[in-house]
C-alpha cells in the first residue's frame, strides 16, 4: 500500500503553503521526498493509498501521569468514556500547562497500562483540526496522525536535525521528548554520555561531530519520518475519535484495495487463485469418483437380479423386485413366504401383548386385516415396534388393524 507522509505546517495553511512530504510505495522504502503546495501533493486519495499526518516535535509536549484506578476501560473512547478520561487528564495536567486545557488536544500512548504511568502527548487543538481539514479538503483525507518523535522506552537516542544555521537536538528517551538548539553551550549542558547513540541528518552531521567530538550515525529525514509513520502512536483521540473511526474504515478499504491491486501482492493473488482452482478440481474429481463407485454398486445389484432371475428384463428397483421374485419362487415351490397368512398371523400373535380377538379377518395379496380389536394408540405402537424387526408394519384403517410387509425388507 502506497503511503504519503505529510508534515503538518506550523502556521495555518493557504494555497501557497509548502508541505514537506515523503512518498513510500510499500510503507518500508522511500520513493520520493520533496515539498509542494496542497494542490500538487501526490496520491490524491487514490485506491490503495494511505495518508499519514506527521506532527513535528516542536508542536508537541509530553507528560507522564498516573491515571486514577478505573479510568481506563475496554470502551475508553466510547459511550462517553472519552469525555471522562479527558476531564481526568485536564485535572492532572492543569498545573503543568501554560495554555488553557480546553484549547488543547490530548492523546494517550498506545495500549496504556491501567496500573502504570501513562505518556500523554499535548498539542493545540485548533491548529491540529485546521491542518487536518485543509488536507481533507484538498483530497488527502488522513488515515493516521503520528508524532515525529515519541518517548522511547527501549533506548535513549539523541537526534540532530535541521540545517546548520538552525539545527536542533531532540532527545527521545525514557524520560520523554526534549528539544534544544544546537550550540556549544547546550552541548556542554547536555553532557551526552559517550556510550549512547547520536543520530544526525547528513546536512548537520559535520556540525554534530565537531561539537560532540565523536562520530555520529547518519539518517535521512525521510527515513526518520517513515519510521515515525510505522509507530503504534495515533493522536486521533477524544475530539478526533469520530474521524478516527472514519480513518480506520479508510485504512481497511485501502488495505483491501492494495491486496487486490498492488503489484507486491501479485504473487499472493496468484497463489490464492491457484489454491481455489486446485480445490475445485479436487472436489470435482472426488465427486466423480464417488459417483462412479455408486454407479458400479448399482450395476452390481442389477447384475445379481438379472443373473438370478433372467425373466426380469427391466430393472426399476432391484431390491424390491428381488424380494418379489423370491416370494414368487417360494410360493411356486410350496414353501412358506413372509407374505403368507400363516407367517403374518403368527408374527402378529407373537408381537401383540393384548388378550383381544378379532371379530373378522381378511387376507388379500399379502395384506392382513383384522377387525374388532380396538387397539389403543399405546397398544398399536407396541405392536408396530415388535413387528418391525420381522419386516412388518401395523396400522389402523377404519375399524381394522392392517398388517403389511415393509417394502424392501
Nearest Cα residue to 253 out of 116, 50, 109: 50
- Please report which helix (H) or strand (E) contains residue 304, including its range: helix 266-308
Q: Where are the domains of the chain?
A: 2-149+231-261, 151-220, 265-334, 336-405
Predicted pLDDT at 255: 61
Over residues 189-200, the pLDDT tens digits come to: 988 988 889 999
Predicted pLDDT at 212: 93
Helices (H), 309-405: 318-332, 341-351, 377-387
% of the chain exceeding 90 in pLDDT: 33
Grid coordinates in use for 348? 402378529
Classify each residue of 62-90 as buried b or exposed e, where b means 16 or more C-beta atoms within 10 Å of its C-beta: bbebebeeebbeeebbeeebbeebbebbe
Predicted pLDDT at 298: 84
Grid coordinates in use for 53? 499526518
- On the question of a common fold for 2-149+231-261 and 151-220, the answer reads yes
Mean pLDDT of 398-404: 84
Over residues 21-72, the pLDDT tens digits come to: 999 988 888 999 999 998 899 875 465 678 999 999 999 999 999 988 877 7
Eight-class DSSP state of 84? H
Over residues 331-347, the pLDDT tens digits come to: 676 666 667 777 888 88
E strands in 15-167: 19-24, 32-36, 49-55, 61-65, 104-108, 118-124, 144-147, 157-161
Over residues 161-182, the pLDDT tens digits come to: 999 988 999 998 877 899 999 9
Predicted pLDDT at 242: 53
Q: Which CATH architecture fits 151-220?
A: 2-Layer Sandwich (3.30)
Grid coordinates in use for 24? 513510500
Predicted pLDDT at 376: 81
pLDDT grade for 322, boundaries at 50, 70 and 90: confident
Topology of 336-405 in CATH? Gyrase A; domain 2 (3.30.1360)
Start-to-end C-alpha separation, the chain: 67
Over residues 268-297, the pLDDT tens digits come to: 888 888 899 999 999 999 999 999 998 888
Predicted pLDDT at 268: 82
pLDDT of 128 above 80: yes
pLDDT of 187 above 80: yes
User: Residue 354 in contact with residue 375, Cβ under 8 Å?
Assistant: yes
Predicted pLDDT at 312: 78
Grid coordinates in use for 72? 481506563
Predicted pLDDT at 200: 95
Over residues 248-270, the pLDDT tens digits come to: 555 566 566 666 666 767 788 88
Predicted pLDDT at 354: 64
Predicted pLDDT at 103: 92
When the pLDDT of each residue in the chain is averaged and rounded to a whole number, the result is 83
pLDDT of 360 above 70: yes
Over residues 87-122, the pLDDT tens digits come to: 999 999 998 898 898 899 999 998 888 788 999 999
pLDDT of 246 above 60: no
The span from the CA of 259 to the CA of 3, in Å, is 14
pLDDT of 245 above 60: no
Predicted pLDDT at 317: 79
Predicted pLDDT at 315: 78
Over residues 211-237, the pLDDT tens digits come to: 999 999 999 999 999 999 998 899 988
Q: Does domain 2-149+231-261 have CATH number 3.30.420.380?
A: yes
Amino acid at each position: 500500500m502506497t503511503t504519503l507522509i505529510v508534515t503538518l505546517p506550523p502556521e495555518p495553511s493557504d494555497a501557497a503553503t509548502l508541505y514537506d512530504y515523503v512518498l513510500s510505495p510499500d510503507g518500508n522504502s522511500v520513493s520520493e521526498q520533496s515539498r509542494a503546495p496542497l494542490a500538487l501533493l501526490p496520491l490524491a486519495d487514490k485506491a490503495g493509498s494511505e495518508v499519514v499526518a506527521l506532527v513535528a516535535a516542536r508542536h508537541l509536549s509530553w507528560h507522564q501521569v498516573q491515571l486514577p484506578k478505573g479510568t481506563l476501560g475496554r470502551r475508553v473512547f466510547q459511550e462517553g468514556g472519552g469525555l471522562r478520561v479527558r476531564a481526568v487528564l485536564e485535572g492532572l495536567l492543569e498545573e503543568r500547562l501554560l495554555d488553557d486545557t480546553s484549547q488543547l488536544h490530548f492523546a494517550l500512548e498506545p495500549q496504556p497500562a491501567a496500573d502504570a504511568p501513562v505518556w500523554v502527548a499535548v498539542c493545540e487543538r485548533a491548529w491540529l483540526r485546521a491542518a487536518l481539514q485543509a488536507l481533507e479538503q484538498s483530497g488527502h483525507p488522513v488515515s493516521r496522525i503520528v508524532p515525529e518523535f515519541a518517548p522511547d522506552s527501549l533506548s535513549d537516542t539523541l537526534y540532530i536535525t535541521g540545517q546548520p544555521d538552525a539545527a536542533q537536538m531532540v532527545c527521545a528517551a525514557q524520560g520523554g521528548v526534549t528539544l534544544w538548539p544546537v550550540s556549544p553551550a547546550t552541548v556542554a549542558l547536555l553532557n551526552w554520555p559517550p556510550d549512547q547513540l547520536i543520530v544526525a541528518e547528513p546536512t548537520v552531521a559535520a556540525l554534530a561531530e565537531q561539537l560532540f567530538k565523536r562520530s555520529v550515525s547518519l539518517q535521512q529525514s525521510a527515513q526518520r519520518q517513515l519510521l515515525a509513520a510505522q509507530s503504534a502512536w495515533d493522536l486521533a483521540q477524544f475530539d478526533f475519535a469520530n474521524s478516527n473511526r472514519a480513518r480506520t474504515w479508510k485504512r481497511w478499504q485501502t488495505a483491501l484495495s492494495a491486496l487486490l491491486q498492488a503489484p507486491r501482492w501479485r504473487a499472493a493473488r496468484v497463489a490464492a487463485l491457484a489454491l481455489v482452482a486446485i480445490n475445485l478440481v479436487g472436489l470435482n474429481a472426488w465427486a466423480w469418483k464417488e459417483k462412479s463407485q455408486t454407479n458400479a454398486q448399482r450395476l452390481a445389484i442389477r447384475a445379481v437380479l438379472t443373473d438370478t432371475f433372467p425373466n426380469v428384463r427391466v430393472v426399476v428397483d432391484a431390491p424390491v423386485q428381488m424380494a418379489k421374485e423370491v416370494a414368487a419362487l417360494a410360493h411356486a415351490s410350496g414353501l412358506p413366504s413372509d407374505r403368507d397368512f400363516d407367517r403374518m398371523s403368527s408374527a402378529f400373535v407373537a408381537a401383540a401383548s393384548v388378550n383381544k380377538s378379532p371379530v373378522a379377518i381378511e387376507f388379500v395379496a399379502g395384506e392382513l386385516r383384522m377387525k374388532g380389536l380396538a387397539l389403543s394408540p399405546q397398544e398399536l405402537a407396541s405392536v408396530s415396534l415388535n413387528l418391525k424387526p420381522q419386516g412388518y408394519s401395523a396400522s389402523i384403517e377404519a375399524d381394522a388393524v392392517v398388517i403389511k410387509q415393509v417394502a424392501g425388507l
